[in-house]
């Protein structure tokens, strides 16, 4: 009986091991050439589709929803308007160089990493919307370069230390920006051409730099660690749309009473150290702290 129970236990352990979920790494796929109007980010079994190696390799025959996708320095296009809205079907998309061309509105990427790329509206003069759930910006990402058109970015969580540049070289470009969480983004928002329109309140761990000749619509409350306007560096504080319009009206031409830019610098490491020392001293000497009683020895 004991042997039977022992065998049953060993069999149960073996079955448990074989039933564990697979830990195999997800596959990676790469572009080998720029995509043209005949292809898009879901193209497979074609020269402008995905391959299982950065060079050489085999074409992807069926789109892999668990895979990681890399543009590999080539232009990537969203599906055309007839197929919109489209959700990128892979686990993640990494852009390095070249263009992410938006050919329709309402496209969604769940997990986007930018090592440096340009996002452009490639279809019309109206705003093209791109929704990004998780956006890790590790390089310089430019929105609207060479395109006098509007792009709306709706970002769930923005992280990374790369710069987000709006306008590029196009004075007619517009970036409508909405972010739910940018607290862990330490890069800079650099507005260099066209119009920047904040579509939501948010707090960033990075700075904001506005170039001379640009335009800003300020009807939301946004917070940055630093603020530069046409070369002027503003200190810590809260700046209302009314104040900014009065002092930099050529830039802050549109806004409402609800529009504020707050500058809240992050303390330097030595400041944190001094705060820690001060807190420790207060804790040790705080009123009411119990002290051990010393009694003289004696009978």
pLDDT for position 293: 39
Asked if residue 24 has pLDDT above 90, the reply is no
* pLDDT > 70 in the chain, percent: 80
Asked if residue 1 has pLDDT above 50, the reply is no
Instruction: Report the SS3 class of residue 55.
Output: coil
Mean pLDDT, range 95-101, rounded to an integer: 97
Mean pLDDT, range 183-198, rounded to an integer: 98
Place of tokens 């790494």: 25
Whole-prediction pTM: 0.83
pLDDT for position 126: 81
Q: Give 221-224 contacts, CB < 8 A, sequence gap 24+.
A: 221/258, 221/259, 221/260, 221/262, 222/198, 222/260, 222/261, 222/262, 223/261, 223/262, 223/263, 223/264, 224/189, 224/261, 224/262, 224/263, 224/264
Mean pLDDT, range 22-41, rounded to an integer: 89
Residue 33's CB: how many other CB atoms inside 10 A? 13
pLDDT for position 284: 53
pLDDT tens profile 253-278: 999 999 999 999 987 554 444 444 55
Structure tokens at 144: 């609207």
CA distance 94 to 225: 27
Range of weakest confidence among 4-18, 99-113, 258-272: 4-18
Mean pLDDT, range 48-65, rounded to an integer: 97
pLDDT tens profile 126-175: 889 999 999 999 999 999 998 899 999 999 999 999 999 999 999 999 99
Instruction: Report the SS3 class of residue 232.
Output: strand
Q: Give the CA dihedral 207, 212, 216, 221, nearest 10 degrees.
A: 30
| Spans of all domains in the chain | 207-280
pLDDT for position 10: 43
Mean pLDDT, range 66-90, rounded to an integer: 91
- Residues 105 and 82: beta-carbon distance below 8 Å: no
CA distance 112 to 47: 23
């Amino acid at each position: 009986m004991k042997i039977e129970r022992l065998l049953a236990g060993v069999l149960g352990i073996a079955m448990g091991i074989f039933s564990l979920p697979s830990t195999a790494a997800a596959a990676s796929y790469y572009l080998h050439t720029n995509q043209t109007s005949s292809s898009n980010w879901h193209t497979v079994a074609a020269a402008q589709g995905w391959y299982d190696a950065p060079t050489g390799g085999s074409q992807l025959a069926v789109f892999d929803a668990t895979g990681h996708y890399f543009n590999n320095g080539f232009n990537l296009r969203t599906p055309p308007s007839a197929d919109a809205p489209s959700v990128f079907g892979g686990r993640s998309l990494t852009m390095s160089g070249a263009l992410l061309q938006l050919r329709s509105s309402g496209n969604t990427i769940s997990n986007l990493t930018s090592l440096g790329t340009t996002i452009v509206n490639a279809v019309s003069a109206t705003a093209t919307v791109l929704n990004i759930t998780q956006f890790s910006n590790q390089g310089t990402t430019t929105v609207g370069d060479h395109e006098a058109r509007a792009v709306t970015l709706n970002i769930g969580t923005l992280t990374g230390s790369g710069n987000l540049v709006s306008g590029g070289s196009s004075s007619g470009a517009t970036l409508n920006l909405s972010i739910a969480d940018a607290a862990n983004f330490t890069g800079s928002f650099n507005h260099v051409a066209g119009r920047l329109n904040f579509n939501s309140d948010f707090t960033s761990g990075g700075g904001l730099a506005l170039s001379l000749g640009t335009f800003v619509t300020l009807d939301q409350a946004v917070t940055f660690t630093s603020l530069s306007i046409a070369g002027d560096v503003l200190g810590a504080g809260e700046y209302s749309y009314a104040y900014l319009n009065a002092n930099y009206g050529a830039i802050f031409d549109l806004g409402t009473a609800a529009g504020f830019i707050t500058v809240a610098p992050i303390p330097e490491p030595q400041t944190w150290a001094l705060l820690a020392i001060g807190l420790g001293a207060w804790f040790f000497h705080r009123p009411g702290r119990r002290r051990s009683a010393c009694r003289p020895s004696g009978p």
